[in-house]
Amino acid sequence: MSVTLRNHLVTMHKYNRWAYGQIEKHCRQHLNSPTKYFQQQPCLVFKDVHNTLSHCWMAEQLWLLRILGSSQTTVGPTANTISLQDMYTYWQPGQKHSELWSAAILNYKEDPVSIFEVCKDSTNKWLQFLQSCKSDSDLVRDFGYQDSSGAQYSANVANIAAHAVNHSTHHRGQVAAALCESCGEGVPAVVLDLPVYTRSEATPGA
């Protein structure tokens, strides 16, 4: 594959999907109780593993909706709909935003692992957009958007596509640290390094 901006961003979003899968595999193997997904951890800004991953999904989809100029998206395999305006309540003091995500992510209490399907579906939506871009010129353009306070800004598509992965990587690192605490001694840390992903792509099944 030639190294173009488009191909680089496709690789990064494929890595993003793989990294969610790595966290999921680790959780399935080592979290012996669904309640541990909701166990508060000091290293998590968004309190627990499930809410942190929900935040990653929300941020990825928020930016993609802004780029596409869309007003709503579906939530993973549940196909529940959530709007851009609903997302903005996430930052408003006093809003019960956790209930909003809980309702959107079906059976989240009974099946907390479903959050990974939601996150991987988010990366698939990004990949669909990136692969629809015919050339790098589709990515170096600017787009306008309104933030949650109503202020108007503009941003570069490629920069935001990179930011979406960078933001999720940041929070997955926090989740990985929290899992070390939850799983205890003797459980290896989850591996999220980009070179490990690229080697696995070069050698399928590695």
| Per-residue pLDDT tens digits for 39-84 | 888 888 888 888 889 889 989 999 999 999 998 888 776 667 888 8
E strands within 2-54?
Answer: none
Least confident of 41-50, 68-77, 105-114, 130-139: 105-114
71 Cβ neighbours under 8 A, 6+ residues apart: 65, 83, 84, 85
What are the residues facing 146 on neighbouring strands? 152
User: What is this structure's pTM?
Assistant: 0.89
Token pair listed for 83: 């709007």
Q: What is the distance between the alpha carbons of residues 60 and 172, in angstroms, rounded to a whole number?
A: 13
**Rounded-to-integer distance, Cα 191 and Cα 97, Å:** 31
How many angstroms from the chain centroid is the CA of residue 35?
Answer: 21
Among 10-24, 89-103, 134-148, 173-187, the least confident range = 89-103
Neighbour tally for 115: CB within 10 Å? 26
What is the pLDDT at residue 56? Answer: 92
Helix (H, G, I), strand (E, B) or coil at 45: coil
Segment 7-14 shows an average pLDDT of 97
| pLDDT top residue among 79 and 169 | 169
d(CA 7, CA 138): 12
pLDDT, residue 106, reads: 47
Share of the chain above pLDDT 90, in %: 48
Cα separation, 166 vs 201, in Å, equals 20
The span from the CA of 163 to the CA of 169, in Å, is: 10
CA dist 192 and 165 (Å) reads 13
Angle at 131 between CA 119 and CA 106, to 5 degrees: 20
